[in-house]
Structure 1
Amino acid sequence: MKLEKAVTELPESVILRYGTLYGTGTWYAENGLIANQVRNNEIIASDGISSFIHVEDAARATMLALNWPSGIVNIVDNYPATSKEWLPIYAAAIGAPKPKVQDGKNSWERGASNNKARKEYGWTPLFPSWSEGFNNLIGK
């Protein structure tokens, strides 16, 4: 937050707040750290909400933001979801076992909205849903 505060004091600045990145080269890639933890059934599904963004969408938003007015913008897909929703689909996409489930949420889980990016700047993600993106992970 200190860095954001410093940046907002500049005459022109766009701060992009990315959701959880997935895709090639991320921890969620087919052989990434999270994928391996899910395969080992080390991550438990909960009620906590996450917002994802595919790396291609993050890169595209970054380029477009060079022409956006100053402000803070969330760069996430259109569907925040609990890990009870997304983790089984992600596990299936990478060929992992069905995850364990718990009530409650983890402290790091939080969702976000992309309304400002979509409505004010016309940005739309190429992967509007994490479920579409997860099913595109294998072999990428």
Structure 2
Amino acid sequence: MSEASTTEHEQTLNTYQDYEDLWNGDLSKLDVVAESIALSDPALPEGELHGREAFEAYLREVRSAFPDWHVVAEDLLVDDGIVMKEWTITGTHKGEYKSVPPTGREIEINGMAKDIIADGRVQEARLYYDPQEVPEQLGLTED
């Protein structure tokens, strides 16, 4: 790798780490997402949201329902501002989530994501996982 591409690679990794910290509850890092961020998440009613304010509201809703929400990313692949990764999310349902009162149950969800980073900010994030895992693990589905 050239020195310029090494620096860009390191900057992308640093931005990604701030983004992961944000998901793990450090809301002081909200500026790591672009004002116009696009988040695709199969659990969202319309499958996606747009804008930093909508992203922050979603993140606060999730963290209110699962205060110990924790993301661990593994097997990061970084190339030209794109971060691909496998992740595991854990959390305990201690607050209302999508009109469901707290169950006290723990969840563990596995998935993948593609994050596009440019100008030191996450511009787009696409999450890939089975959205039925959350209601199943909360005991909200029929066996």
Q: What TM-score, normalized by structure 1, do the two folds share?
A: 0.26
Q: What TM-score, normalized by structure 2, do the two folds share?
A: 0.26
More strand, by proportion: 2
